[in-house]
Structure 1
């Protein structure tokens, strides 16, 4: 079935392991091509220019072997952006005090915050986040959720993949639930969490499918 996302707000993508969540993000970001159908933005097929207006943060950050501030500066320079924004971007993710520290020496949560700052440096219309808080401590999770919520308030379209039902409740304006590579449900957060329509979604929310790997 077709999937239509609103142009604003935060969409949380959920589903059992192997349901296709990461694949969906890569399709929407243009990293891979669909085997059938097409992806439209504003009624037009996804183009390289539209992909440049997006940013993707992976579960495991891929950072340069440079300082935190140099990671930001590299992106700003490559995109022709104002390089004086480096410190402001680091301050936005509470890393200004660690600006000169090598990125690889940051903690896991700090590295992920740096990856998000680097993504925001491109001034994206849409920010994709693929389980950015997986395996992080509660304090880091809270910090990243705050950064994401602030970006959404600033008008950045957020597409957020998570396995954490409570996190989804905190962040989502609407939910896309995948099962076996298909969209099983698409609804507002209130409608989905108060009354999921499919058996698989109900089982997932009850915790019965947390460890299910679909084939």
Structure 2
């Protein structure tokens, strides 16, 4: 079976060495106690924190790409997304497809006008939904989702779940999804990996 993301002997100050392989279209859940290193794992994979080992995307080494190129393809989406400009559209890729943007906005129940909203008027839930839209407009091959529905009600949580699932299917992309929500883990299904004592353990396949 083809490996989209192939991780070998990944090691940070707190984690590893870890091996991990993720297939096209696959959603892998990552769980663990608070402080176990879930966010650290995602940040290391995104090359946001120092790590050693080999990380490959479709057979191409992370070290062979510029960090900005890697992070467009392997996109880290934190629960609290960063916004540095005054308006939402200042944070979107220069070459984004407006058709794709409207499709994604519809999936997360936001109007077209939200692309021009001022950031300071956004609620935490709107920031979270627009943060996902922003990441998806780069058409990443792998999504690293760090509690992407933490600030959302159940209805919008399910919208995000459906939007991510649809994206993975349409683009043959993959995702690692950190969640503390037991019911969400049941809805998402698939492989569940637990971080314990700096190592990854296969917890379940549902």
TM-score, L = length of structure 1: 0.74
Deviation per CA, 1:179-210: give whole Å up to 9, x if none.
121112265x22xxxxxxxxxxxxxxxxxxxx
Unmatched tracts of structure 2, length 5 or more: 1-17
State how 1:97-108 maps to structure 2 within 5 Å. 98-99=113-114, 100-108=116-124
Is the strand fraction higher in 1 or 2?
2
The structure-2 alpha-carbon separation of the partners of 1:108 and 1:43, relative to structure 1 and needing over 3 Å to count, comes to: same
In structure 2, what is the equivalent of residue 94 of structure 1? 109
Q: Does 1:2 align with 2:19?
A: yes
Distance verdict in 2 for CA 1:18–1:146, change over 3 Å: same
> Could you say which residue in structure 2 is the equivalent of 1:212?
none
CA separation in 1, counterparts of 2:180 and 2:192?
A: 12
Q: Does 1:63 align with 2:83?
A: yes
The equivalent of 1:197 in structure 2 is: none
Please give the secondary structure, in 2, of the residue aligned with 1:60: coil
Deviation of 1:97 (Å): 5.0
CA change 1:168–1:28 in 2 (3 A) is same
- Of 112, 115, 134, the match for 2:150: 134
How many corresponding residue pairs? 183
**Following the alignment from structure 1 to structure 2, what is the Cα–Cα distance between the partners of residues 84 and 185?**
39
Aligned to 2:177: 160
Task: Report if aligned partners of 1:92, 1:117 keep a CA contact under 8 Å in 2.
Answer: no
Write the distance in 2 (CA, Å) between the matches of 1:94 and 1:112: 12
Cα displacement (A) at 1:86 = 4.1
SS in 1 for 2:150: coil
CA RMSD of aligned residues (A): 2.4
Q: C-alpha separation between the residues in 2 aligned to 1:3 and 1:129?
A: 16
User: Post-superposition shift, 1:44?
Assistant: 4.2
Cα 1:51–1:186, aligned 2, differ >3 Å: closer, same or farther?
farther
Query: How many angstroms apart in 2 are the aligned matches of 1:172 and 1:63?
Result: 31
1:42 CA displacement = 3.5
Name stretches of at least 5 consecutive residues in structure 1 with no aligned partner: 191-215
The answer to whether the Cα contact below 8 Å between 2:27 and 2:177 also exists between their aligned partners in 1 is yes
* Contact 1:15/1:177, CA 8 A, preserved across alignment: yes
